[in-house]
Chains A and B, each alone.
Chain A
Amino acid sequence: MKPSFDPNQPIYTQLVDWFKQQILGGELGPGEKIAPVRELALELGVNPNTLQRAMSELEREGLLYTERTAGRFVTSDRALIAALREEAIAKILQRFLAELITLGCTTDDALRLIKKYGGEINE
């Protein structure tokens, strides 16, 4: 599990997004321990200070927390994860629907088409 970074954007925001994706997608489970910053920075090939900054941001947002001696963990607050996950899905859907609407597609059309083509995407 190693993200690929867009070098034209700040790395720290990409790290924040990537960790969110890992947590919301269940790749990093609730209460799971996160490797030490230095070790993780090495694995991801990024500056340890940049990673530290991303971790602090995720802590501010409540997705990670630090226990003084034990290290850093993913939040155990499943409700928070579920809420953020739904929020993220809603954002994607809104973007998606907005694009379909410009093609003259109604929400009903969209639902029908998702059923029709969604299966194919899965396969």
Chain B
Amino acid sequence: MSEVLLEIKSVSKRYGHKGALRNVSFTVEPGKIVGLLGPNGSGKTTLIKIINALLADYEGEVLICRQRPGKESKRLVSYLPDKMALPTWLTVNEALNLYDSFFSDFELARAQALLEALKVPHNMRIGELSKGMQEKLMLVLTMSRRAKLYVLDEPIAGVDPAARDQILSTILDNFTAGSSILLSTHIISDVEAVFDDVIFLQDGNIILHGEAEALRSEHGKSIDQLFREVYKC
């Protein structure tokens, strides 16, 4: 009944001889929050870049609402990159206006209210903001679009635990009903309560994929604990 929002079919990607993704397949249904979990270098960002049409030479198929990643799919996907992607000499206000003119689904008033709530100063240049503030700004820009799919690459990596709660509620409060979220992270304990499904990546392979609640009752362990055990060498 529910149409699949994101479909990843047998996707592989190599950098030279090194395989970054090996035959990865999964789907994301509407309304789901999916955790893409794995240590650094496991392939999370590579996969996310493919979904966002930043890497084109991969094998397999990626479909976003039945479209391949490209110009059209970018209308549907709101992407939070793992690094600051805006010129750092822009002021916060200029960044807002840039997003507003770029994306027809951007809600300027929502973004302004969120920045206010998260206490991000409007008139400073991005380069003058702390790392935590920069992350909040990017999150606000990303979540103020009315997208079908939100792809968030490590949204909580650089902020302190107190701000993590704030960021999580910003995400939960602002994603459009019926849209989905793919959220990559290697910090799990603070965020695992928000996931519907989790995907564990290791060396480019999916080593575990399931419903978070089912995994908890099956193993009698938190996703965080499971993660630590799975990745222990």
Give the interface of A toward B (CB within 8 A).
5, 7-13, 38, 41-42, 45-50, 53
Extra 5 A-B pairs, beta carbons < 8 Å, given A11-B216, A38-B172, A38-B173: A7-B192, A7-B193, A45-B194, A47-B196, A49-B32
Contact across chains for A7 and B213 when beta carbons are under 8 A apart: no
Nearest B-chain residue to A7, judged by Cβ:
B222
Given contacts A45-B165, A47-B33, A49-B196, contact A9 B172 (CB under 8 A): no
Q: How many A-B residue pairs have CB under 8 A?
A: 54
- Candidates A11, A13, A53; contact of B193 at CB < 8 Å: A11
Q: How far is the CB of A50 from chain B (nearest CB, A)?
A: 7
Q: How far is the CB of A5 from chain B (nearest CB, A)?
A: 7
Please tell me the number of chain B residues within 8 Å of chain A, measured between CB atoms. 25
Nearest A-chain residue to B213, judged by Cβ:
A10
Nearest B-chain residue to A53, judged by Cβ:
B213
Nearest B-chain residue to A44, judged by Cβ:
B193
- Cα A3 to Cα B128 in complex, Å, equals 39
B177 proximity list for chain A (CB < 8 A): 38
B225 proximity list for chain A (CB < 8 A): 7-8
Query: A-B pairs with the 5 shortest C-beta distances?
Result: A7-B222, A10-B213, A10-B217, A10-B216, A46-B193
- Cα A118 to Cα B189 in complex, Å, equals 39
- Cα A50 to Cα B198 in complex, Å, equals 14
A41 proximity list for chain B (CB < 8 A): 172
Contact across chains for A8 and B196 when beta carbons are under 8 A apart: no
